[in-house]
Amino acid sequence: MPPYSPPFYHILSMALIVSPADGERLLHALHIELSAHEPGFSLTTDWHTGACVIRGSDELHLRSICDRISREYRIDIRVGETQAILVETIRRSSEAEGKYIRQTGGSGNYGHVKIRLEPIEPGRGVEFIDEIKSGVVPKEYIKPIEQGIREAAQGGILAGFEVVDFRAILYDGSFHETDSNEMAFRIAGSLAFREAAAKASPVILEPIMKFEFAVSEPQRIALIEEIRARRGEVNLVEHSEGSLRVWAIAPLESMLGFHSPVPQARTLIGYREKPRPDASDDEGGIPVSNPRKPGPRVNSTAVQADWDWT
């Protein structure tokens, strides 16, 4: 399967936690001040934990933002570990129905939908198609159904990562003249998605990067061993102006915290299926000894599978 290709700046995240008294000041700094001057930077707020999550393209970039907040805005923040942003997707089509029927006193809630999920090309995100005929589900409930599906997809199926690159087709359902409402259909859509996605062979995808290093000859063996220990593979070593240039591909998640030597450059190639903890090297994902070369991204200028490493 070709790699999934989200915006490049959404491959890393970092949680920032502040005291409740500084919450509004932190949001002000992030929303108004920093976002206007930091390209490729975004943030979300988790109101359950009180943390702001910032996203960017580079670990040092994210930490520099935190330093600026502490220094220029005098906000005391706790910084979480940098994490690679993983996603989930589905491998095959499936169908399911969702019913939300509750009776509470005089009024009730009734929502009933049937949907079909299909995998689509990497990088397409989420598509929703309404195939309802003969008014079996009134038009005013179509949008809430779509909303419920998209909200459920953001919560993931396997490990809480956003589900991407699928098409949801609403093809049937039913309603109640007095008990149906938007909330009931939004919940029904969410329930239908969760059941259908669980049956559609969901997998976790991780970002794969190409790294370039400049090292001395004595550093070469240690560098190659470290890269292989992190589920990567060295693809080319070249002598250049008294040093060695080393190119490797490896999962971004495995390379976090690797700063000796610091990569001179890195490029997102795409996303590949993350191997299961109990999987052998030839059961998917990227084997340590012979990684698959990620293919081209859809509608992008990403390197091809047969790229020139120089």
Residue 6 has pLDDT above 70, yes or no: no
pTM: 0.79
Span 70-83, pLDDT tens digits? 999 999 999 988 99
C-alpha to C-alpha distances, 160 to 14, 148, 184, 250, nearest whole angstrom: 16, 16, 23, 23
Contact 87, 4 (CB under 8 A): yes
Mean pLDDT of the chain: 84
What does the pLDDT read at residue 34? 74
Domains in the chain: ranges and CATH: 8-85 (3.30.70.870), 92-200 (3.30.230.10), 206-310 (3.30.70.240)
Question: What is the rounded average pLDDT of the residues 32-61?
Answer: 77
Residue 283's pLDDT band (boundaries 50, 70, 90)? very low
The top-scoring range by mean pLDDT among 213-217, 247-251, 266-270, 274-278 is: 247-251
Q: Are 190 and 152 in contact (CB under 8 A)?
A: yes
Three-state DSSP at 177 gives coil
